[in-house]
Amino acid sequence: PFMAKLDFGTLRRGRSKRLGWLDRHNLLGIVTLAWASVVGVTGTINTFVVPITGIWKANGLAEIIASEARTPLPAQRASVQAALDAVQREAPEMKPQFIAFPGVVFSSHHHYAVFLRGATPLTSKMLLPGFVDAATGRLDAVVPMPWYMQAMLLAQPLHFGNYGGLAMKIIWAIFDILTIIVLGSGLYLWLRRRGGPSDQRVREVVMAGEIA
């Protein structure tokens, strides 16, 4: 409440060391709040990558999995390059990102899953999968990912600062350091609050309401 009486960014000098740390802690905390919120939310989304992918596979791929042949795949499978070409013909403006082989988490037991990405900085993080029968080479479906999968794909690079090249990584590193300082100063203030004499803490509370 005392900070409401001060201009933004005020550092009260000539006071106690703890009060100086308090001002710096509050200033850095409010400056990094928005960034820390973004990193916290995207980090939370990233922790659910396994169940989110499982939901997508159970729901979004249900028809594809249900329609696939029950017979085992032959030893001689369809060409991977032909599978890529078949999917790219459906979305020629997009670029290949990766190909999931049959039986892995991003595919079914009978399909190549060809994932394409957009050509712009934003759409390059959003994927479009196409499913090609690994036995016959037939394109069975190109299925846009649901919103929750797209949100997860966008959250991952935003959490790690993988947008905007080196400049964004430097900004993310600076905010990382500032956040560590906020955490360290908060711990310091808490320890000093517990260990200091009561009359000293009372004086600091009174002085905190005064403008330097």
pLDDT digits (tens, 9 = 90+) for 16-61: 666 667 777 777 888 788 888 888 999 999 899 889 988 988 887 8
Q: What is the pLDDT of residue 166?
A: 83
Q: Using one digit for the tens of pLDDT, what is the confidence trace for 108-163? A: 888 999 999 998 877 888 899 999 999 889 998 898 989 999 889 888 888 888 77
Return phi, psi of residue 89, to 5°. -65, -25
CATH 3.10.450 domain position(s) in the chain? 61-145
Residue type, 192: R
* CA distance readout (Å), 28 to 23, 141, 187: 9, 50, 14
In the CATH scheme, what is the code of domain 61-145?
3.10.450
Helix (H) or strand (E) holding 156: helix 147-160
Model's pTM, two decimal places?
0.67
Cβ contact 135:94 at 8 Å:
no
Return phi, psi of residue 193, to 5°. -65, -40
